[in-house]
Amino acid sequence: MCGIVGGVAERNISNILIEGLKRLEYRGYDSAGLALINQGQVLRERRVGKVANLEQAVLASQVSGSLGIAHTRWATHGKPTEENAHPHISGNVAVVHNGIIENYQELKDDLEALGYVFTSQTDTEVVAHLINDALKTTPSLLEATRQVVPQLKGAYALGIVHTDHPDELITVREGSPLVIGVGIGENFISSDQLALLPITNRFIYLEEGDIARLTRNSIEVFIDGQLIDRPVKELDATVSNASKGEYKHYMLKEIYEQPEAIKQTISQALNGNALREDFLASAIQDFANIQQVQIIACGTSYHAGMIAKYWFEQLIDLPCQVEIASEFRYRSPVIVNNTLYVCISQSGETADTLAALRDTQKRAAAKSLNITTMTICNVATSSMVRETNHSLLTLAGPEIGVASTKAFTTQLAALMLLVLKIGQIKQTISDTQIAEIVAELWHTPKVILDTLQNDKEILRLSELFVEKQHCLFLGRGTHFPIALEGALKLKEISYIHAEGYAAGELKHGPLALVDNDMPVVILAPQDDMLDKLKSNMEEVQARGGELFVFADENSGIKAKDRQHVVYVPSVNAILAPIVYSVPVQLLSYHVAVLRGTDVDQPRNLAKSVTVE
């Protein structure tokens, strides 16, 4: 979602802010802006569209300054116009904001009654006016911010500067992520450390409710008005590797990175064909006690969770529920003793998942229930990792394309490792079975590499989708979630309406949609459901639907009139969903490229969904 970058330095930081915004652009990209404090003035530039537009404006106007804040916006309140782009200014205060001020209308009414004039439709502008107003009673920017924060309801990360405070950057974290980048004689803030990696690898991760005051040479963090010590963490320099390389899009690069990402992810847990003794060792007692699993996630991560449900129940006989976080958090779910709550999120900051986790922890504590919480995510320093009992990292490297690919397949690999570990502790799976699955897991990167060889064939087929308005994806068992994921991918980046269905549900409704103009994508691994799936394919063909089948090379499914087949190398049925993710990713990618959409930054979407 929106990206914040800010800094206080000796040197001109306009380039640093722009570079930082570019690195955050994948999180929101409908408009961008910056404000620099220079000789008692706020110099502001804002532009609709990509950061490149802002960059040109900054180059043309030559605005400079050694204190400033910048923002890429993903609008929640008010259209993506220049007036609504951040920073917002009131008097001599400039503010950037990530999140939503839920009570902004009440605050706005009060401020208007006091004579403040609003120039935007955003919720953010109230913060600028409130701070400006609070400065009537105190000369301290920090103190004014402290007075305003309790009035704000909702989620927010803020960056605040003022012309009378040329060596002071105030920042607040409440419900939206924010890190401080620690430099030498200069300090920075950002909503994602990725933005600051070119200038520092030392970070302070703010906690909920923290307010910090940065100057060139000092960082003070306060919670409830008390100065508090937050540790500085040094990051491994390799995490900064986030360029497109030779690839046309991040998404394509990330699809091709999957074999390596999976290898990295499983290597941390395995020793030959066995689980390493130290893998999740601190969780052994907790895992021994659990009697069921509740997975909470959103979007693609939710689909990974759906697959894990099959694995938990089939392989280790452990009941597992999966739910979308935005539903789970608001429906007052019964929190059950001895449950493992697993949050899955690429960023570890997904607002709904994080809120669901916190709510679950609160409810469990209120009833003195014994639950265990766990995160599967791709960012070691994320809020979820910090706030759960245990975590398992996907070592996929930064994922920049908005459509998740390598994060998804590494989540699946991580979930399988978790299933095996819990099964081993509970002795519901034998060492031999573990060794067999692990051997297949090691083999998966190679099968994905072979599957990627089909890229040209998939490109050829994707030409048949370009003019389509709708598409169905069908699968059974663990490939039902892959059908959902395939449909989600196609929707997200090509804007073709797509639905994923359990193939057995076809005759309960979606079959009515099938006609000559309806492409139907089928996921046909070699598993127990193959014959049933073949019958479903016949049902589609009988109604004139055109089939695009990703089929196991030994499935016996053959190409014929209006039935296109791409063969996927044979793979163990349990792990097949990891492999079958790849052709649906490639299909969506090529369709989107042929339709000329912005693949890495599709309209209306953004990465790292830090607003609910």
39-47, 91-99, 259-267, 353-361 -> range binding ligand HGA (CB under 6 A): 91-99
100 binds ligand HGA (CB under 6 A): yes
β-pairing, 67-73 with 31-38? Answer: antiparallel
Distance CA 199, CA 242 (A): 15
Question: Element (H or E) spanning 367, and its range?
Answer: none
C-beta neighbour count of 531 within 10 angstroms: 8
Q: C-beta of 141: minimal distance to ligand HGA in Å?
A: 21
Instruction: Give the other-Cβ count within 10 Å of 302's Cβ.
Output: 23
Q: For ligand HGA, give the closer residue by CB, 521 or 611.
A: 611
Cβ–Cβ contacts within 10 Å for residue 453, how many?
9
Contact between 98 and ligand HGA per CB under 6 A: yes
Nearer to ligand HGA by Cβ, of 77 and 202: the residue is 77
Closest distance between ligand HGA and the C-beta of residue 30, in Å?
9
Residue with the two structure tokens 């057995």: 504
* C-alpha separations of 50 from 85, 242, 568 in Å: 12, 18, 39
CA distance 57 to 62: 8
510 counts as binding ligand HGA under rule CB under 6 A: no
Q: Is 1 in the site for ligand HGA (CB under 6 A)?
A: yes
Size of site (CB under 6 A) for ligand HGA: 17
Instruction: Say how many CA atoms lie within 13 Å of 67 toward its Cβ.
Output: 26
CB 349 within 8 A of CB 379: yes
C-beta closer to ligand HGA: residue 13 or 96? 96
H/E stretch holding 204: strand 202-205
Of 2, 298, 320, 377, which residue is the catalytic one?
2
Among residue numbers 15 through 44, which ones bind ligand HGA (CB under 6 A)? 28
Q: In what order do the strands lie in the sheet with 154-162?
A: 88-90, 93-101, 154-162, 169-174, 210-214, 219-223, 226-228
343 is catalytic: no
Beta-ladder partners of 162? 93
Phi, psi of 115 (to 5 degrees): 105, 5
Stretch that binds ligand HGA, among 70-78, 301-309, 485-493, 500-508 (CB under 6 A): 70-78
2 belongs to the binding site for ligand HGA (CB under 6 A):
yes
**Strand intervals (E) in 28-92:** 31-38, 41-48, 67-73, 88-90
User: Of the two residues 28 and 397, which places its CB atom closer to ligand HGA in the complex?
Assistant: 28
Q: Is 2 a catalytic residue?
A: yes
- Ramachandran quadrant class, 170 (left: phi over 0; alpha: psi -120 to 50; beta: rest): beta
Among residues 14, 38, 66, 122, the one that binds ligand HGA under rule CB under 6 A: 122
563 versus 608: smaller Cβ distance to ligand HGA: 608
Interface segment toward ligand HGA; rule CB under 6 A; list 95-103, 365-373, 385-393, 495-503 = 95-103
CB of 176 to ligand HGA, least distance (A): 7
Q: Which two tokens stand for residue 538?
A: 């016949």
Among 97-105, 338-346, 527-535, 568-576, the segment contacting ligand HGA (CB under 6 A): 97-105
* Closer Cβ to ligand HGA, 124 or 345, answer by number: 124
Residues that bind ligand HGA (CB under 6 A): 1-2, 28, 73-78, 97-100, 122-124, 611
Question: Which amino acids are annotated catalytic?
Answer: 2, 607
